[in-house]
Structure 1
């Protein structure tokens, strides 16, 4: 087993660098517009008809840049989930 010793200031500097890199990565990975499959996974629904119903009722925002391409707004999905969240007793 190897032991690595660091001065306290070097240790905290290393931790700050790791945290900042993790924040950068998480900010890059989340796209504003996501495909239907990812939307269905986030909403935990299995049928495209349910997704169509949410879209038709205006409960989640979407964009249709081409005829067969529909993208969904991640922020509106988060808002929809938060609006339908129930507090525990």
Structure 2
């Protein structure tokens, strides 16, 4: 087993680089729960009524943490889109 000694400045510089790297990885990963506007962009729809219909019919998952806040599961939207994929000839 090796023991590595670092000066305090070098340790904190390394620590900052690790934190920056982890934050950039976290930013690259899309959020699991998205708002209605982003859900409509993913589904390429313009109407909130259509979004509500998909929600009411159970075709996409959603969560309602507060009365006027509805969040949509990005994975269920992607699964819904994949369900209707047509293979090429």
Matched with 1:81 is: 81
Q: Does 1:72 align with 2:72?
A: yes
- Which residue pairs with 2:45 in the alignment? 45
Residues 21-65 of structure 1 deviation map (CA, whole Å, 9 limit, x = unaligned): 8x82422xx101000000000000000000001001100000000
Say yes or no: does 1:26 pair with 2:28.
yes
Question: Structure 1 CA distance, aligned partners of 2:59 and 2:84?
Answer: 11
Tell me, which stretches of 5 or more residues in structure 1 are unaligned? 1-19
- Name stretches of at least 5 consecutive residues in structure 2 with no aligned partner: 1-20
RMSD value, Cα: 1.7
SS in 1 for 2:77: helix
Structure of higher CA gyration radius:
2
Normalised TM-score (structure 2): 0.70
